[in-house]
Chain A
């Protein structure tokens, strides 16, 4: 057992309100520079939709991630042979128009134009050429545009859904969508690292943050194509690739990353998870049906004495193990089994997990309810909700099977295509709701609640715990940032004793006077 520590993330999708505060926080700190304007290390996209960059999930276009190669795996579009053959033209690289051409407006024209017969306007200008442009696209161009033929219906996750199912998704009164905030997953088996011909990308030992060494990067852009999540970007101004750094300077100082800190919906959780690095290869090369399970199996119980012993032997510090024990992400992912990796089938073993959204399930009850018309308020088109939680057990799980966003669609995102992988999670989420409804509203019988909890292997305590961390969690509950131990890292590089007995601060210029 080769125990290592990883700072992992959980995003609770039911809570995201699509406000893009996270993206702005990130942009203002990291990517508000020439050459980086088009990058959104954090972006929020509407699902169903094609996302940013367009159709990033379609690996037939971008050839990102890994694919199975016999017993092992190989990079889909890069690697030694393919990479060398394609090194000078990199066939699957996204173009700037796949992201969008960054722009600003000539705001000054509004106030500085001389008086004339027409109102001045602020024309859009490209941030690349500096010339006026017609805006073609933006980083969240299809925000809230579910159902559109250009975007929602081109969502790569619709694969495997029958045309009838797809059509049902986009009927006017049934249409639903949710938000998918995305950052770099700081994967355990990062394709970006494997693809880099210069060896510029590395995964930090102490916390697993994946970083690009800007001194070593030689602009091959192999990481840009290799990352299936398209989370490595090329800065055309300074000729280096850049990616999310998980705000490591903030983490080292004990703060949560800016996107998480600022998240309005409080959907984001961060904490340490211990994992067994010996299992990386077998987990990444597992059969598609086992991928999710094997990845979750790698994550270790931080209370297990064996694990603690092995962690210590591996140099994981006590405080990090301590942080792992209090980690909110461990609870979501392992203890409660609520969170799943996004697109496990890319085989990068992402360490950002998502609690899948349950919300659109509610109104799907209409399908099974004969008298829906009586319940529909004809003007507001809102459901009168007296029956919504009328949950005879068959009907309860029936609502999940017939959710407005079909299970297959969710499974394509979070279950490597397997519906059974995601169903349990959704049922648990529903069970907690029913339990809380019984507690706070009281219109459901205790008997039914117990049945529901039993069905999902939950207890009342667990349900309360989930509810607390989901709805009432404070800052310190959501973010358990491990102490950074930078002093140890420095001591590994140089002997700090050399500085002992010196004056304590340096001087820039040599002293001229004196003996």
Chain B
């Protein structure tokens, strides 16, 4: 028997709720009254937090282009309303034929900017933050978060890549293995190959759930790739790596691999197993069936009355 909803119990609960609500309203009025003065500051702080969490994967404020444009003083170029719409759903704006939106989309290799899961207030906070941060002039903004990209650091790492071919080779191999899942990601995230493919001799048949990454390096540039690996703006990828973020070494290795893949993809001829692959499958199946037919040879395959059925007349 299931528990039933009984009328009396329902009533009691409702009454209780009403008292609760009243109490809650009184308390919240008091709290809100106190906190109004902090609101502006909090807003900005919130904006910084959102920007670093999500936007900074592709954008900087006065830090140069990454995947998307540098947003320093963007308010001078676009209205807040336009920004709001673009952040909310860039594709809607682009498809509506807004010339500015189309232009920026094409300028940045038609990279789709994913729709951000923000409320209107949060968007306002972010725009507010960009404005404040732009006002900061020369200095790089976006610090205070490990995801933020510091151009100096970038160039240092770039330098690292250029020095010492051995270390590059090692990193590329590591990246390749991480990409293919031969080595597990340290924090338990899924390996890249589950969703992505790269045309490379080492990779047989990557995933087709997400974009093919052979030329990602030329499309986004190193900082872009690095930023996306650090903190992905794509909702699905975000979910997949929630609490399982990649370590800096892993990012470095994968980026090295992707760079190599991009550079060399013209010369890569991943082995095409073609018919042979299918053939192996068929032969394997035959062997398996052979084994089964031996193992299962004593299976009853004839009805006990077969001899009677065989003698019976048939209409067709």
Contacts and interface: CB of A to CB of B under 8 A. Distances in A.
Interface of A: 50, 53-55, 58, 61, 86, 89-95, 97-98, 132, 134, 136-137, 150, 490, 494, 498-499, 502-503, 505-507, 510-511, 514-515
A150 B308 contact: yes
B3 A498 contact: yes
Given A134-B312, A136-B312, A92 B14 contact: no
Interface stretch (B28-36, B206-214, B295-303): B295-303
- List the 4 closest pairs (A to B, CB-CB), nearest first: A506-B4, A97-B303, A54-B304, A91-B299
A330 B143 CA distance: 89
27 contacts: A50-B305, A53-B304, A54-B304, A89-B296, A90-B299, A91-B300, A94-B300, A95-B300, A95-B301, A97-B306, A132-B315, A134-B313, A134-B315, A136-B309, A136-B312, A150-B305, A150-B308, A490-B1, A494-B1, A499-B4, A503-B8, A505-B4, A506-B4, A507-B7, A511-B11, A514-B11, A514-B14
Given A89-B296, A507-B5, 20 more contacts: A50-B304, A54-B303, A61-B304, A91-B296, A95-B300, A98-B303, A134-B316, A136-B305, A137-B305, A498-B3, A499-B1, A502-B9, A503-B7, A505-B4, A506-B4, A514-B14, A515-B11, A515-B14, A515-B15, A515-B18
Contacts of A132: 315
A132 B292 CA distance: 34
Contacts of B10: 510-511, 514
B230 to A, nearest CB: 46
A54 to B, nearest CB: 4
A91 B305 contact: no
Interface residues of B, number: 30
Interface string B144-177: 0000000000000000000000000000000000
A410 to B, nearest CB: 24
B303 A91 contact: no
A58 B304 CA distance: 10
A150 B307 CA distance: 9
A27 B112 CA distance: 64
Interface string B1-45: 101111111110011001000000000000000000000000000
B314 interface: yes
A90 B299 CA distance: 7
Nearest to A225: B300
Contacts of B4: 499, 502, 505-507
A216 to B, nearest CB: 20
Name the prevailing secondary structure of the B interface residues: loop
A340 to B, nearest CB: 27
A97 B301 CA distance: 10
Given A134-B315, A515-B18, A98 B298 contact: no
A50 B299 CA distance: 21
A361 B309 CA distance: 35
Contacts of A136: 305, 308-309, 312
A95 B303 CA distance: 6
A324 B265 CA distance: 86
A514 B14 CA distance: 8
A12 to B, nearest CB: 30
A376 B18 CA distance: 100
A503 B9 CA distance: 10
Contacts of A150: 305, 308
A91 B294 CA distance: 12
Nearest to B308: A150
Given A134-B314, A136-B312, A515-B15, A98 B304 contact: yes
Interface in B57-103: none
Contacts of A50: 304-305
Contacts of A506: 4-6
Given A97-B305, A490-B1, A89 B299 contact: yes
Contacts of B14: 514-515
Contacts of B303: 54, 95, 97-98
Nearest to B301: A95
B8 A93 contact: no
Contacts of B5: 506-507, 510
A97 B309 contact: yes
B243 to A, nearest CB: 36
Given A136-B309, A507-B5, A61 B18 contact: no
A498 B1 CA distance: 11
A55 B300 contact: no
Nearest to B2: A506
A134 B312 CA distance: 9
Given A134-B312, A134-B313, A514-B11, A93 B6 contact: no
Contacts of A95: 300-301, 303
A91 B309 contact: no
Nearest to A92: B300
A503 B4 CA distance: 10
Interface in B178-235: none
Interface string B44-55: 000000000000
A442 B9 CA distance: 78
Nearest to B311: A150
A55 B303 CA distance: 10
A201 B155 CA distance: 70
Given A494-B1, A515-B14, A55 B304 contact: yes
A452 to B, nearest CB: 44
A193 to B, nearest CB: 23
A514 B9 CA distance: 12
Nearest to A502: B6
A507 B9 CA distance: 12
Contacts of A55: 304
Nearest to A509: B5
Contact of B305 (A54, A58, A514): A54
Contacts of A94: 300
B301 to A, nearest CB: 8
A134 B311 CA distance: 13
A96 to B, nearest CB: 8
A93 B296 CA distance: 13
A53 B306 CA distance: 13
B19 to A, nearest CB: 10
